[in-house]
A and B are shown apart, each in its own frame.
Chain A
Amino acid sequence: METFLLLAHPVTGGLATLAALWVFVDTLNAGESSVARIKNISLICAILMWLTYFLGGYFYVVYYYVDKAFIIKGPWAFGYSFFMELKEHVFLMLLMLATYLPVAAYSYVPSNKSVRKLVLWVAGLIVPTSLAMEGSGAVIALAAKVALLLKVKGV
């Protein structure tokens, strides 16, 4: 279960990022035929982000304390003190932003330049923020790995 959660949450997070990127690109080149697609993919982005929240959140609340104990004692303690803290708190903002994406996208029609601009900005903010979350996750995983390697080597 622990390993599944550890692997599943960056996958759903990555897919949510791709969905936001899809919405951004589709909106950039939007026509009548892309309206339904933009609305559907924005909803999928929000659903995937909520799934990431529950999967990653369950791992964080139930299992993370073991990793945390190793990371804090290891040479990459910043994996916990900066990257994990950043990730767990910025993600809460990202979740709301992804939830807002379909709210904005559902009033989209190609003639409405204002909503088009809004959807572009919201999707455009989700992508780099999500990538920062994925990157932070990679640093945290590496911080745990470095700590465990040194423990195995007896350093």
Chain B
Amino acid sequence: MNKDRLTTLSFFLSPMIVMVLLFYLVPLVMTVYISFTQMRNWNVSKYLTEFVGFYNYHRLFYMFQHDPTFKAVLLTTVVFVAITLVINVFGGLTLALATFFIDERPASAFRLLWLLPRMSPIAVYSLVWYYFFHGSEIGTLNSILMKLGVISQPIPWGQIVPWGAWSIIIFVNGLVGVSFGMIVFTSALNQIPKELVIAARVDGASSWQISRRILIPMVKWHFMYVLTWQFLSLLTTYPHLFLLVQWDLVNGDYGTTLALYVFNTAFGMGEQDQGLAAAAAVLLSIIGIIGGFVTLKVLQFEKMMKRPRGDF
């Protein structure tokens, strides 16, 4: 590699490398470091050099065995990720298939509408559902059910544990995630040669048969892509949940996943315990990194990375 080439490369790549170093690698090392200290309430000058070894990890393990709150958080994480993942993947696939079979104009309109949860500000989107599930008579769900005569008094849905709180967080995050699957599946469906679909139509196949026998088998790779990617992002998402819990719409224990638990332990109200939060974050990262590598292997991303053809 000659000097000229090196100058060119560093011109193009150094800003990105600096960003990755400053905001990914250095913080990661710092998080691991904090997990071995007794850091509390961000009292950096006092606790930064106070090593406690694996104390925080021991505490996590002890809480896993005995603390009902922490057990609730872990259970919520498992239920939340599992159910929301299924809703996201199959909801996205259903929407993509459904809009595939209608005219372009209404199809784009619907796709755009389903992008709304992802594009709108997190605070506004949460605000919409805050009003919808509100525990008083201004809550839309309560007033619908009261008008239908199903219930006589407003019910604070999010405070019913565990399934009331779980339903709300799954619903709110489920709608955000659906759009990812929808976009990926739509672009995959549009790459399928039209002749296949038209030939099947001429042979008298119904839309359902075409979906089942032609379209779905041909988007298998994308299915795995959405499944693994969405799994990782659900495991680590917390901004919407943060607001729902903060505004007291859902129960604090059964509305908190592990990612939100880390954030609230490190930055929340009252007693903050960064050492413990960092230890939990490290465990979460290990799951995330393993998941990331499994994803890459399953999807065979490396094969897609072709060499630039014309560089000399």
Answer whether A and B are interacting partners.
Answer: no
